[in-house]
């Protein structure tokens, strides 16, 4: 499996969602660059969307990639219009949680990020958000 797979099957929903599933490792700088290019290309569609990141297969990755991710977040925050409504991160392991915490210590997200433990909880959160229900009981990282 390549490093990242973008699933647009729910992009035409009333509240569009883009699911990104990660492979276990980054094989090359080209893979990470392609991931960031596709991420940024979503903003060119000029359509509001939600990110869902599935990290269950994600292994360790080097600090320079965290730094690169922080630079992308900074770039997104500087856009005149941010089409991202919020992000749902499915995180099962401590290592990935710590790497994500490091990323958000370097650069805060542009929109709220919800952290959940599995796909069921992610779907429940998505439905609650679509119905404008209270989501205060979820773990969040604020911009």
> Is a pLDDT exceeding 90 seen at residue 84?
yes
Identify any residues that bridge with 7 across adjacent strands, giving them in sequence order.
Answer: 19
**For position 58, what pLDDT does the model report?**
82
Chain segment 55-76, per-residue pLDDT in tens: 998 876 666 678 888 888 888 8
At residue 1 the predicted structure's pLDDT band, cuts being 50, 70 and 90, is: low
Structural domain of 89: 4-141
Question: What average pLDDT does range 126-143 have in this prediction?
Answer: 93
Domain containing 92 — which CATH number?
Answer: 3.30.750.24
Region of poorest pLDDT, from 80-84, 115-119, 124-128: 80-84
Instruction: Provide the b/e sequence for 118-127 (b: ≥16 CB within 10 Å).
Output: eeeebeebbe
**For position 63, what pLDDT does the model report?**
63
> Is a pLDDT exceeding 90 seen at residue 77?
no
At residue 31 the predicted structure's pLDDT band, cuts being 50, 70 and 90, is: confident
**110: three-class secondary structure by DSSP:** coil
How many domains, the chain?
1
Let me know if 36 is exposed, middle or buried by CB neighbors in 10 A (0-12, 13-18, 19+): middle
The pTM assigned to this predicted structure is: 0.90
């Amino acid at each position: 499996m390549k490093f990242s797979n973008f699933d647009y099957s729910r992009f035409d929903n009333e509240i569009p969602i883009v699911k990104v599933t990660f492979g276990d490792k980054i094989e090359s700088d080209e893979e990470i660059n392609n991931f960031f290019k596709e991420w940024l290309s979503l903003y060119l569609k000029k359509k509001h969307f939600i990110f869902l990141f599935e990290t269950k297969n994600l292994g360790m990755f080097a600090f320079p990639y965290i730094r690169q991710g922080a630079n992308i977040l900074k770039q997104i925050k500087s856009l005149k219009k941010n089409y991202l409504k919020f992000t749902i991160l499915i995180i099962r392991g401590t290592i990935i949680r710590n790497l994500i915490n490091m990323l958000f210590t370097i650069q805060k997200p542009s929109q709220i990020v919800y952290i959940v433990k599995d796909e069921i909880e992610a779907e429940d959160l998505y439905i609650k958000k679509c119905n404008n229900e209270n989501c205060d009981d979820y773990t969040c990282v604020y911009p």
